[in-house]
């Protein structure tokens, strides 16, 4: 009988990230008697990782989606009655490339007779393996396991977390084993929530499948760590420096929320390559907003965070309504 499978999805273009992957794989060695380990990566897998796993798959295709229609829309609630959504939170959507990795893992697991699969992103470390074993037991009764975060005011995740989940291979819908780029892009365009987590939860729940939802704090016990790397930040310590449409005034406003950086943030915003707006010394967990101008007068927005270029946004006339739809404030 085949062992249960742990799938690690990875993208490690730097020495630091390659070390994080190696540390994860080394940390899993004590349970190799019960679990096989597979790495599916969009960067080449080093030999020291390869010799410590059963499967090592390199896929050079790492398509990052840039079209506005395909972006996730995280939200931030600066006040109890106002929610701001923006597609300019990160540097692109990994929806397509991450699901290609998962599809590769699911298909290989089915082909080689594994009964269960537990999917982990590479930027994690485990010293306590309780949940791996508990999930194998749970999947005898349930079809999938997802972990949920608690009710956090500034957390946009409404679905099971994407960096750890598990499923019974025989229960998965046929759709989950096949990669069709155009079909997946159409899914994104038709979805209100363009997140990988939403697609995973939808697929795991298809055909009346039973999903066990657990508190993600169970994964964080006894020294375990998840999400050592925040992909969306890139080289920036903070992400929330974004423009959005303010429907009450028909303007483009700009919000800076220092959600992570220990150092005070300085943000410069250049509108139409001439008008400069500055946000100085925004301390951690503080936020501030300014109006940039009427929506119809703005053609470009250049954003610098601590003197580094974060984004250059060009708003063409034909894209103005799409900008308003995908970056805006909502009121309760």
Say if residue 9 is in the same domain as residue 142. yes
- Report how far apart, in Å, the C-alpha atoms of 113 and of each of 3, 19, 90, 110, 173 are: 9, 31, 38, 5, 16
Does 70 fall in a domain? no
The answer to whether residues 128 and 263 belong to one domain is: no
Predicted confidence at residue 233, as pLDDT, reads 47
Give the per-residue pLDDT at 231. Answer: 46
List all residues 6 or more positions away from 208 whose beta carbon is below 8 Å from its beta carbon.
none
Q: Find out whether 327 and 242 touch, Cβ atoms under 8 Å.
A: yes
Is residue 216 located within the same domain as residue 240? no
Q: For residue 153, name the pLDDT band (cuts at 50, 70, 90).
A: very low
Tell me the angle at which helices 95-111 and 181-190 cross, rounded to the nearest 10 degrees. Answer: 130
For residues 194 and 313, membership in a common domain is answered with: no
Query: Is 161 part of a structural domain of the chain?
Result: yes
* Residues 179 and 326 placed together within one structural domain of the fold: no
Residue 282 inside a domain? The answer is yes
Query: Are residues 177 and 269 located together in one domain of the fold?
Result: no
**What domain range includes position 300?**
235-331
- Beta pairing partners, 213: 146
Whether residue 208 lies inside any domain: the answer is: yes
Query: Residue 28 in contact with residue 122, Cβ under 8 Å?
Result: no
In terms of domains, do 60 and 184 share one?
yes
pLDDT tens, position by position, 82-141: 888 888 876 666 777 888 999 999 999 999 999 999 999 999 999 999 999 999 999 999
196-205 helix and 95-111 helix, angle to the nearest 10 degrees: 40
Per-residue H/E/C for 240-280: EEEEEEECCCCEEEEEEECCCCCCCEEEEEEECCCEEEEEE
Instruction: Choose among 322, 241, 291: nearest CA to 314.
Output: 322
Mean pLDDT of the chain: 88
Residue 77 is assigned to a structural domain of this protein: no
pLDDT at 72 over 80: no
Determine contact, residues 116/4, Cβ cutoff 8 Å.
Answer: yes
| 170 is a domain residue | yes
φ, ψ of residue 186 to 5 degrees: the values are: -65, -40
Mean pLDDT along residues 213-224: 94
Neighbours of 50 (CB within 10 A): 15
Write down which residue in 231, 248, 271 finishes a domain: 231
Shared-domain flag, residues 225 and 259: no
Does the residue 169 lie in any domain?
Answer: yes
> Do 304 and 225 belong to one domain?
no
Residues in the chain: 332
Pair 29, 128 in one domain: yes
The answer as to whether 83 is a domain residue is no
- pLDDT of residue 211 exceeding 80, the answer is yes
* Domain stops at, among 231, 246, 275: 231
CATH number of the domain within which 260 lies? 2.60.40
Contacts of 161 (CB under 8 A, 6+ apart): 146, 147, 148, 149, 197, 216, 226
* Domains: count for the chain: 2
Q: Convert 177-208 to b/e letters by CB count within 10 Å (16 or more is b).
A: beeeeeebbebbeeeebbbbbbbbbebbbeee
CATH code, 101: 3.90.550.10
Q: How confident is the model at residue 151 (pLDDT cuts 50, 70, 90)?
A: very low
Pick the more confident residue, 27 or 155.
Answer: 27
Partnered with residue 331 across adjacent β-strands are: 82
pLDDT digits (tens, 9 = 90+) for 231-260: 444 445 567 899 999 999 999 999 998 887
pLDDT score of 230: 58
Are 230 and 275 in contact by the 8 Å Cβ rule? The answer is no
- Coil, strand or helix at 238: coil
Contact assessment for residue 159 and residue 195, using Cβ atoms and an 8 Å cutoff: yes
Radius of gyration of the chain (CA): 21
**Residues β-bridged to residue 302:** 270, 312
CB 182 within 8 A of CB 127: no
Determine the pLDDT at residue 62: 77
Going 142 to 145 to 150 to 153, the CA torsion angle's sign is: negative
Residue whose tokens read 């080449």? 44
Same structural domain, 191 and 157:
yes
Residue ending a domain, choose from 187, 208, 231 = 231
- Residues 191, 203 within the same domain: yes
In this structure, of 65-79, 167-181, 235-249, 292-306, the range with the lowest mean pLDDT score is 65-79
**CA separation (Å) from 166 to 5, 37, 119, 212, 217?**
10, 14, 6, 10, 16
Q: Could you tell me whether strands 328-331 and 300-305 are parallel, antiparallel, or unpaired per DSSP bridges? A: unpaired
Q: How far is CA 240 from CA 65, 76, 156, 181, in A?
A: 19, 9, 13, 30
For residue 70, give both structure tokens. 């395909």
């Amino acid at each position: 009988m085949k062992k249960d499978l742990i799938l690690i999805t990875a993208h490690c273009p730097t020495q630091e990230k390659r070390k994080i992957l190696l540390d994860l794989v080394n940390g899993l060695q004590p349970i190799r008697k019960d679990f096989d380990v597979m790495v599916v990566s969009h960067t080449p897998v080093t030999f020291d990782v390869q010799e410590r796993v059963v499967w090592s798959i390199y896929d050079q295709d790492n398509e990052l989606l840039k079209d506005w229609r395909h972006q996730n829309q995280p939200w931030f609630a600066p006040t109890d009655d106002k929610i701001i959504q923006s597609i300019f939170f990160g540097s692109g959507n990994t929806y397509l490339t991450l699901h290609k990795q998962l599809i590769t893992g699911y298909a290989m697991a089915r082909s080689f007779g594994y009964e269960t699969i537990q999917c982990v992103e590479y930027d994690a470390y485990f010293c306590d393996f309780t949940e791996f074993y508990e999930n194998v037991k749970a999947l005898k009764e349930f079809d999938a396991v997802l972990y949920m975060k608690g009710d956090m005011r500034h957390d946009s995740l409404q679905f099971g977390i994407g960096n750890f989940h598990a499923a019974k291979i025989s229960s998965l819908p046929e759709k989950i084993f096949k990669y069709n780029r155009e079909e997946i892009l159409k899914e994104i365009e038709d979805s209100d929530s363009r997140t990988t987590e939403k697609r995973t939860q939808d697929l795991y729940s298809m055909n009346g499948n039973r999903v066990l939802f657990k508190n993600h704090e169970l994964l964080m016990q006894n020294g375990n760590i998840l999400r050592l790397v925040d992909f969306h930040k890139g080289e920036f310590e903070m992400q929330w420096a974004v423009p959005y449409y303010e429907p009450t005034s028909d303007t483009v406003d700009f919000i800076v929320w220092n959600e992570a950086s220990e150092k005070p943030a300085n943000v410069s915003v250049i509108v139409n390559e001439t008008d400069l707006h500055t946000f100085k010394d925004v301390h951690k967990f503080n936020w501030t907003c300014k109006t940039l101008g009427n929506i119809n007068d703005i053609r470009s927005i250049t954003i610098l965070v601590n003197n580094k270029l974060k984004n250059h946004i060009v708003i063409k006339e034909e894209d103005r309504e799409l900008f308003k739809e995908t970056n805006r404030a909502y009121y309760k």
